Chain A
Amino acid sequence: MKRRAAGRTLPVLTVCAAILVLWYLAAIGMNWATETDKLVRAGDYSVTDAIAATWSARRPVLPAPHQIVAELWKTTVDVKPTSPRSLLFHAWVTLSSTLLGFVFGSILGILIAVGILFSRTLDKALMPWVVISQTIPILAIAPMIIVVLNSIGVQGLLPKAFISTYLSFFPVTVGMVKGLRAPDRMLTDLMHTYSASPLQTLMKLRFPASLPFLFTGMKVGVAAALVGAIVGELPTGAVAGLGARLLAGSYYGQTIQIWSALVMASLMAAVLVWLVGLCEKAALKRQGARP
């Protein structure tokens, strides 16, 4: 018991349980007024009835966790994944543009970082802009990219992937530049004594040394790519994707639908970051890092 308390499992589970309890209590509080109103109109009611009603309202202000789970189950397991009523369908739409954008963004980020490493001009002229662009709310540009590309006939996956690319390449570039410069003077001098060419130094020294930085950047990048894909789905008017589910839910007051889309997006973000973490562990293990 004592050993487990020193670990992380028990504290995390406790905090999760506390959040659940608070959530149920909050659901009672926030749904109380509307639900008791209905019960009063229907006749007399007891407190237990009212509490049960707040946890099973059709359009609650705050849905109880089990309602969200039930909605998730209903829209993922009971419906065919190809139907537009299935949450898996929408999740896939978002996931595909997230992944496409993330892959493009990572490649672009790595290329720019290598360019910055080799060219003094790029380092002095471009790097400050990469840093400044981190401080700009780039997401504001998303609706315009979607609508403008739509007006010249580009629609569907690509515009969203474009936004995801845009959002995910900054963290990768910044991390990668830091990583490529991580090897100290001694190591670069050693490569020099081997009379290694710049390309060889890059491939055999700088690139392996930059991996931890690259993966840290990619973890931030993949989360940013998902946010970009979701926001990119807003302006096209709720066609498909998790962002569209959020928007449609907010139009029609379907709170349970909003929450289930939100939970799905969160699950996806957690899994994506976890997958990048797995790749990181595998790559660093091959380099001989000890856990």
Chain B
Amino acid sequence: MSEAPLAQALAGKSSPGTRIGSLALLTVLFALWAFVSLPEGGWLLVLAALAFWTSALRLTVLLSALEPQSKAARRGLSVAIPVLFGLTFLFLWEFVVRGLDVPSVLLPPPSAIAATFAASTGLLWADFVQTFLKAVLAGYAIGCGAGFLTALLVDRSPFLKRGLLPIGNLVSALPIVGVAPIMVMWFGFDWPSKAAVVIIMTFFPMLVNTVAGLNASSAMERDLMRTYAASHGQTLTKLRLPAAMPFIFNALKINATLALIGAIVAEFFGTPIVGMGFRISAEIGRMNTAMVWAEITVAALVGSLSYGLIALIERRATFWHPSIRRG
């Protein structure tokens, strides 16, 4: 009686487990074999790509059908599936580009991009320092800080709040990147002009979100603070700012991406001879696409890592929020 569910679970578990295991092994071995031993170019490589793709897809489908009991396994699976999907995509890209002899100007294979990346880490680092560590960080800090402080000021006056909010919402939808040429004209070619673009781009999302967040606490909670005879400052720090945290972090996350975009696009309008945007537009002029892709890889890494960092801080800072508490 007590053995039956166990045996069932074992049978249910082990059978797809071994199937997935053997399929994964086969796929990896096949990919390695095709990668090493098939000749450059030709339809054989494309056929290999197709075979690889079908088996990898089958693997993904099998994996996504799994419903493991333990929390850790489920979390691992939720990372493993997209990673597998991404790797499949990269392999497919590699095989198809090499198989069909796509000129590397058009689309270099990932291996060439990786090689360029490894060969020019010094250059990429210098660009990263110029664009991210100087322009983006300075602009992001000043823009978000100014937006936050302005929101605190605006919050004192309902009249200003009603006047500024619609305008702030409107400005958030405008193509603000367009101020880049003006800022380059005002602040010169070096990073301060890029930081200025970033400040303008990050200011309004922060302003609008913080003002909305400061209104997030309910009337009941505010009444409670009144019965405690709390001052404006106390209500702000003990109730309304904590309640506004999810909104503020939302703005911080939106701004992380916006800031990087602003700095890179601003560099299209003129820079000293260093910076991610400069490198992209210069190397594309020389048709050196592998370098452009390497630079885009850096941008993607920086963008998702800074987003992830802010999300991590958010989990720590707003541990009380239902959306985080549950997990």
- Measured CB to CB, the residues of A under 8 A from B are 5, 7-8, 10-16, 61, 120-121, 123-129, 132, 134-141, 143-144, 147-148, 151-152, 219, 223, 226-227, 230-231, 234-235, 242, 246-247, 249-250, 253, 255, 258-259, 261-262, 265-266, 269-270, 273
Contact = CB atoms under 8 A, between A and B. Distances in A.
B163 A144 contact: no
B299 A230 contact: no
B185 A250 contact: yes
A5 B170 CA distance: 20
Given A140-B280, A140-B299, A143-B284, A8 B64 contact: no
Contacts of A134: 257
B170 A270 contact: yes
A14 B265 CA distance: 33
Given A11-B163, A137-B299, A144-B292, A121 B175 contact: no
A209 B257 CA distance: 30
A214 B300 CA distance: 27
Interface in B32-82: 57, 60-61, 63-65, 77-78, 81-82
Given A140-B277, A148-B289, A270 B106 contact: no
B199 interface: no
B174 A140 contact: no
B61 A121 contact: yes
B interface majority secondary structure: helix
Contacts of A152: 106
A124 to B, nearest CB: 4
Contacts of A147: 284-285, 287
A136 B174 contact: no
A128 to B, nearest CB: 4
A102 to B, nearest CB: 13
B110 interface: no
A183 B192 CA distance: 49
A152 B161 CA distance: 52
B200 to A, nearest CB: 12
B230 interface: no
Contact of B296 (A10, A61, A141): A141
A55 B285 CA distance: 40
Contact of B264 (A7, A139, A230): A139
Interface string B290-322: 001101100110011011100000000000000
Nearest to B171: A266
Nearest to A120: B64
Contacts of B265: 139, 231, 234
Contacts, number: 168
Contact of A8 (B162, B179, B184): B162
Contact of B182 (A137, A227, A258): A258
A interface majority secondary structure: helix
Nearest to A249: B181
A15 B161 CA distance: 10
29 contacts: A5-B159, A8-B166, A11-B162, A11-B164, A13-B163, A14-B159, A124-B64, A125-B81, A125-B85, A128-B81, A129-B85, A132-B304, A134-B257, A136-B300, A136-B303, A137-B300, A139-B177, A144-B293, A151-B106, A151-B287, A219-B173, A223-B174, A227-B177, A235-B268, A246-B269, A250-B182, A253-B185, A262-B179, A266-B175
Interface in B122-166: 159-164, 166
Contact of B175 (A14, A61, A230, A234): A230
Nearest to A141: B296
Nearest to A125: B85
A265 B178 contact: yes
A122 to B, nearest CB: 9
B185 A255 contact: yes
Contacts of B60: 121, 124-125
Nearest to B89: A129
B260 interface: yes
A261 B185 CA distance: 16
Max count, chain B CB within 10 A of own CB: residue among A10, A126, A262: A262
B256 interface: yes
A14 B163 contact: yes
B86 interface: yes
Max count, chain A CB within 10 A of own CB: residue among B64, B162, B178: B178
Contacts of B179: 262
Contact of A247 (B163, B164, B181): B181
Contact of B256 (A14, A128, A135, A253): A135
B119 interface: no
B167 A16 contact: yes
Contacts of A223: 173-175
B276 A140 contact: yes
Max count, chain A CB within 10 A of own CB: residue among B163, B277, B281, B296: B163
B195 interface: no
B167 A15 contact: yes
A235 B174 contact: no
B270 interface: yes
Max count, chain B CB within 10 A of own CB: residue among A123, A135, A250: A135
A239 B57 CA distance: 44
B82 A139 contact: no
B105 interface: yes
